[in-house]
Amino acid sequence: VQRRILYTDCSDGTNSRYYLVVVQYEAEINGKKLSSEIRALRPPGKDRLDPRQFEFRLASSDDNDRLTGYVHNSVTPFGLRDGKVPIVLAADVAKVRPAFMWMGGGHVDLKLGMAVEEFVKGTDAIVADVSDPRSGAFED
């Protein structure tokens, strides 16, 4: 779960304090891309938020547990304790073939698999370019 500094609400997906971001295992969240993509959810003009209002950080363990109801390494985007937290799916995940993904299943030893399209429909996920390949991922 990513936390945006300086904001306290989760009811508006274009201006939430917290976002649950789903990326591939071999990827990492790029905070600048995440900020840019979330900001771009609002059309240019007076309603678009100033870039200085966006600074994302990893949520604390306490915030994660409180918002999701799950502990570290078991978070799933389904059954969140705070159902208002917007879900962001990295665009690279939406491009995988076959279009199927695995994610946390609510327990450290449980994984949940489903079609990417069904995930997006079921969670109303925001699909956005928010990740980069993890440094050293799968190097020999």
pLDDT at position 50 is 82
- What pTM, to 2 d.p., does this model score? 0.87
CA 114/CA 105 separation, integer angstroms: 11
pLDDT at position 3 is 66
CA 128/CA 139 separation, integer angstroms: 26
For the chain, what percent of residues have pLDDT higher than 70? 90
